[in-house]
Structure 1
């Protein structure tokens, strides 16, 4: 276990000894061949359950991949490690490694790697009994392998489809479907040399025959699988087949063979898994006391005999000896009773511990129920709030009177305040429910901060406050990290400074602290000359629903959640927030983050091209399809777009949307997710089968359970959460429409 722990640290602990010297094409080709050999060997080691050897091979492959900056091999190493955790039933760590692999593969557009990762993702969801998602990822993998005419992996996909049917439902028609997929898998796999998948094929065919009560065929298929497994030393498959054969022979009444295979199965299980047995330890003090008593009694008896022979010990000596023995006996009895009392105390402590465990589980269930309630209620609030904010925007553009404009602005402020509250509650709920994960990708930090400042400029202008941005020129353009989390942290901190600073200044400073190899350490500071915070309140303001004072709450409003979210996000990123403030003179929030620095030679930023192409004319005469089942939302979105000379069409559900895209040319699609019939995700998957260029933007109220990365995996170009600020809405539409024009 210790070797496994240190191997994992070496594998993913931030290896920095990269060989940065120039290498010839021949050397790179030789290293690539060695990497592929190591990864193939690691996959074999995983299949035969030699985890120590697999980790050693993965470690060597990762070192070589980093020497030549081979992102594809790095991602594949994560995929093989995910298989290791999958076989060990550590599904959470398996999912984490797969997400890391998928993030890299999406970044470098590695379609083959993504298909392999989708296949492994399907296995994980099948193991977790989420059969719908397992089927979705099998579809994604099959699309690629059919395009490449990879018959072996088409067979593996068919095999896993059969396993989904066998696990999901044992009804006769489901078993028949499973048998069809197993037949398809056999036709594709038999010409290949993939012994492991052939072994799995025969094993699951055996289980299908058993469910059809055809024990004879089930026995034949299990024996075929066992023969292949023993020939290749596939430990887990030997274990499964011996156990299955024991059950078959038991059902046939052949108890001798059943017992034989059961014993073989138990023997294999004992050789694979380390069974820890706790040894009972005797109380050292008690044992020492008993031994001492025995030694003393023996010594006294010996002395008494010698005295009787030589000195004819008088009666007084005899009485004293008996008294001493009696005292020692009483001491022994006392120790015995003490042991009994200790055992009773241990039983009482165990009982109390069980009660505390039950109380802990009940508290966790209550916390989960609270999280689900908050997730549901915030999602339900977003839909009517979208109507409020959208209609307010439309009315403000209808040239209202001054009196009406004042009321509408108040309504707009209230809607935006309610939206901010809902977003903060949802973010905090995700953090508390541990639904937030760090996903690393390459991005431009300076541009990311500039976008945040653009989004907050109107709020600063309303307060007559100036924003000053100082970015260290020595910081590389391309960094690797989580840009979404960084934006969320900065929006909360800068927004907090704007709220408490009027007719003042706010400075956003980013400086490089240190760089070790590719590891870059940056210092962030957000400083203002606003209200400031008293020393007594500087710790409490990072707690939920806490502000500096009741007077500040009445004057500036707010919920007191923003700084709590910042603290939780930084803790998730292995950092912490620091505050230096003085009442009446302003505040300075600072924190440090670690990034991986790298530059991509010759890369051209499409975003910069798009940014220069944006203008008010970008949307003119563009055709946009609005897919939305809510009539009010349809009307609001359509009117907002038509005021900017956009040609709109509407689809009430996903099925209509697919037909309209087939028969019409649209420049962009706004797709709702939750609709009757097929969902927005299913509709997007169907559209991508015949059109992979048109921008598809998800327009939805995101909930706690929705995985944003899954939207992109299923073909979405971007996501706009409802309700939205109109400026951000148009900015994203202009960006994708301009990008589409440049691509065309």
Structure 2
């Protein structure tokens, strides 16, 4: 009887132990599942250090109940994080080790669906390594598994991953098809996140094929989901795409708004503390992976040695192996510690450098935009000043009035020169200037500059001597405008700082081939000279040597800065020799291409005289929103016997152009409603022949070539010299 009771007690004790163990296992499995949910939550909210910590927690829980399926899944998730790191920390060897270990477990269990996703991740890894044939094979292997198990949700997600593959290869139409076929996309952990990712990648594909409206629409859907569920990385990328799309659609206001939002989001995600915590969490996970890998190697070795009898030699070898493995573990741990410290240091330095670079770029951009805005706004009232002064001088004022008007004209011209110099420096610094190549008459360029400065030379009783090498041909390829600016600045500088003296200009051939001529230019004066100390910064902006020189001789202090920058654009450099009280010599070389005779016969030479507009009658459409500018421009036009209709905005201009015939149209650019550019594009839809001339107070972003692409025939910047205005009009109409 006692024996029976004992057996019954043992039975119930064993049964209780089994039930307790099973209950404990169920609790741990629930913990693993909740931790996976937490992992996806942290990952999707860009809290990568917390996400990696959750993966380590799952490994520990999985070890306690020998849950190999969860362990393999953790290794795949770690590999997927590496693949998604935007190529910055992409380590194919490291990712391959995770996927290989996961595959070993999945084949051992077995876990076919898990193995299918392993093939998907291998395909994406092969894509990043530009092994495209391997990528396609891995996708096919995954598809075969998912179809075998008739897993509809997995097949849908596979279409999303194939879309990523096509997008990375630039096969945008197939990428769009794959992404659209993946919707609706289901996932037990992150359905909203994957849906947002699909729309984000659709936006990228549409952007690549320049379908900006579709790109913007999908990016906005992605952004809406990201804002609702707080997905920072998707917020960042979709905001950037929307800003780019607005820029592509010429909606600069919205483009600027989204660009600012993009910078804010980026600064909130990528900061030193977060990057350091991610680096530490990554190193900690890698250590855990290495330890488990070594433990598995030891287990495999123990299993293999259990087959036969253990002899003394086997024991020695086993001990030696354990010692080696222990030393390897210590070595790996130390290496990882060093890696973490080095990584932290590099992250810190990189972040500091990036921050400094970003701040410098922001400051430069703000300065450029400020100067551009100021110079642009100053040109409009200055147009009224110079224009009215010109008109008053032509209306036979009294002698006393004439003196005042001349003084006003001088002040207006000086202010305009100053504004033009600031804008020129601003454009050079912002890299907005391009070198033009066209046939020019170099001798005529130099003669024209000298003639235009003849009055200036008389003011200080100076003499200009021009010496041009006889071997220089009449026509060479060069940039007429930039070369003229260089010569004007250097020669006028020599005249300004010289009194009762001589300014010599020489052009000498130093080297010649069948296609090119190398010419050395020298501008020499016997004026006040420049001290050694001042020569070091004479080419800096607003530098004139001293305040006394600025007060005595005037000027902006930007002339030599512009000269140096323009010559750098022309692949040249300027040299200075000077001595106080003796004079200064500026010299620079230019290599110019020769003009082929055939090309010359079909090419207009820059700088030739144009026909006069006098005694010719034209009908003109003036598009201008500023009333004062309307009056001034109309009077300047009337001086040449031209009649004029005035449109106050772009819409009215389109109506006038459609209803009337004009010999040419003068179009202001910046107007309320639609801009002059948009109005010109509309006019060009029904009138491709009438010359349209842009009248603009040029800003930093204005470029003549851009205007010509938009349908304009010529660009005249406000305020303008009436004679230059007439010459350009004559050139267009001839």
| Bucket of the pairwise TM-score, normalised by the shorter protein | 0.5 to 0.7
State the shift of 1:253 in Å: 5.4
State the shift of 1:561 in Å: 0.9
Mapped to 2, the partners of 1:416 and 1:237 lie a distance apart of 54
Q: Is the 8 A contact 2:439 2:600 kept in 1?
A: no
Mapped to 2, the partners of 1:733 and 1:432 lie a distance apart of 31
1:619–1:418 CA distance, 2 compared to 1 (3 A)? farther
2:620 alignment partner in structure 1: 624
Q: Is the 8 A contact 1:619 1:646 kept in 2?
A: no
State the shift of 1:373 in Å: 1.0
State the shift of 1:620 in Å: 4.2
SS in 2 for 1:594: strand
Q: Is the 8 A contact 1:578 1:591 kept in 2?
A: yes
Mapped to 1, the partners of 2:605 and 2:730 lie a distance apart of 13
1:691–1:493 CA distance, 2 compared to 1 (3 A)? farther
Out of 714, 721, 725, which is 1:725 matched to? 721
Mapped to 1, the partners of 2:605 and 2:518 lie a distance apart of 26
Out of 160, 169, 174, which is 1:241 matched to? 174
SS in 2 for 1:542: coil
2:352 alignment partner in structure 1: 355
Mapped to 1, the partners of 2:727 and 2:667 lie a distance apart of 17
State the shift of 1:591 in Å: 0.7
Q: Work out whether 1:520 is the aligned partner of 2:513.
A: no
Q: TM-score, normalised by structure 2?
A: 0.53
Mapped to 2, the partners of 1:609 and 1:703 lie a distance apart of 24
User: Where does structure 1 lack aligned partners over 5 or more consecutive residues?
Assistant: 1-88, 90-214, 266-279, 281-332, 740-744
Q: Is the 8 A contact 1:478 1:599 kept in 2?
A: no
1:433 alignment partner in structure 2: 430
State the shift of 1:558 in Å: 1.2
Q: Work out whether 1:484 is the aligned partner of 2:481.
A: yes
Mapped to 1, the partners of 2:571 and 2:556 lie a distance apart of 26
Which of the pair has more CA radius of gyration?
Answer: 2
State the shift of 1:374 in Å: 0.9
Q: Work out whether 1:636 is the aligned partner of 2:636.
A: no
SS in 2 for 1:601: helix
User: Where does structure 2 lack aligned partners over 5 or more consecutive residues?
Assistant: 1-85, 87-151, 202-282, 284-329
1:446–1:689 CA distance, 2 compared to 1 (3 A)? farther
1:510–1:357 CA distance, 2 compared to 1 (3 A)? same
State the shift of 1:436 in Å: 2.4
1:493 alignment partner in structure 2: 490
Out of 656, 661, 665, which is 1:660 matched to? 656
State the shift of 1:671 in Å: 1.8
Mapped to 2, the partners of 1:688 and 1:451 lie a distance apart of 37
State the shift of 1:243 in Å: 8.7
State the shift of 1:728 in Å: 2.4
SS in 1 for 2:369: helix
Mapped to 2, the partners of 1:247 and 1:423 lie a distance apart of 53
SS in 1 for 2:673: coil
List aligned pairs for 1:466-481, cutoff 5 A. Answer: 466-481=463-478
1:397 alignment partner in structure 2: 394
SS in 1 for 2:646: strand
1:526–1:670 CA distance, 2 compared to 1 (3 A)? farther
Mapped to 2, the partners of 1:734 and 1:472 lie a distance apart of 33
State the shift of 1:473 in Å: 3.5
List aligned pairs for 1:137-156, cutoff 5 A. Answer: none
Mapped to 1, the partners of 2:340 and 2:403 lie a distance apart of 77
2:646 alignment partner in structure 1: 650
List aligned pairs for 1:226-375, cutoff 5 A. Answer: 236=169, 241=174, 245=178, 248-249=181-182, 251=184, 344=341, 347-348=344-345, 350-375=347-372
**In the TM superposition, what whole-angstrom CA distance separates every residue of 1:423-464 from its partner, at most 9, and x where no partner exists?**
111111112222223343444433444444454444445444
Mapped to 1, the partners of 2:673 and 2:169 lie a distance apart of 42
List aligned pairs for 1:117-132, cutoff 5 A. Answer: none
2:507 alignment partner in structure 1: 510
State the shift of 1:354 in Å: 1.9
Mapped to 2, the partners of 1:445 and 1:375 lie a distance apart of 32
Mapped to 1, the partners of 2:712 and 2:175 lie a distance apart of 46
State the shift of 1:474 in Å: 2.5
Mapped to 1, the partners of 2:710 and 2:183 lie a distance apart of 47
Mapped to 1, the partners of 2:615 and 2:493 lie a distance apart of 34
State the shift of 1:343 in Å: 7.2
1:690–1:526 CA distance, 2 compared to 1 (3 A)? farther
1:570 alignment partner in structure 2: 567
1:599–1:447 CA distance, 2 compared to 1 (3 A)? farther
SS in 2 for 1:629: coil
1:246–1:663 CA distance, 2 compared to 1 (3 A)? closer
Out of 568, 575, 589, which is 1:592 matched to? 589
Q: Work out whether 1:533 is the aligned partner of 2:530.
A: yes
State the shift of 1:636 in Å: 0.9
1:508–1:735 CA distance, 2 compared to 1 (3 A)? farther
SS in 2 for 1:723: coil
What is the number of residues matched between the two proteins? 441
Mapped to 1, the partners of 2:597 and 2:585 lie a distance apart of 35
1:506–1:649 CA distance, 2 compared to 1 (3 A)? farther
Q: Work out whether 1:679 is the aligned partner of 2:612.
A: no
**In the TM superposition, what whole-angstrom CA distance separates every residue of 1:24-61 from its partner, at most 9, and x where no partner exists?**
xxxxxxxxxxxxxxxxxxxxxxxxxxxxxxxxxxxxxx
State the shift of 1:719 in Å: 1.6
State the shift of 1:576 in Å: 1.0
State the shift of 1:393 in Å: 1.5
State the shift of 1:633 in Å: 0.4
Mapped to 1, the partners of 2:180 and 2:341 lie a distance apart of 44
State the shift of 1:382 in Å: 0.6
Q: Which moved more, 1:354-363 or 1:467-476?
A: 467-476
Mapped to 1, the partners of 2:693 and 2:364 lie a distance apart of 33
The alignment's C-alpha RMSD in Å is 4.1
State the shift of 1:380 in Å: 0.5
1:463–1:622 CA distance, 2 compared to 1 (3 A)? farther
Mapped to 2, the partners of 1:339 and 1:663 lie a distance apart of 78
Q: Which moved more, 1:234-243 or 1:510-519?
A: 234-243
Q: TM-score, normalised by structure 1?
A: 0.52
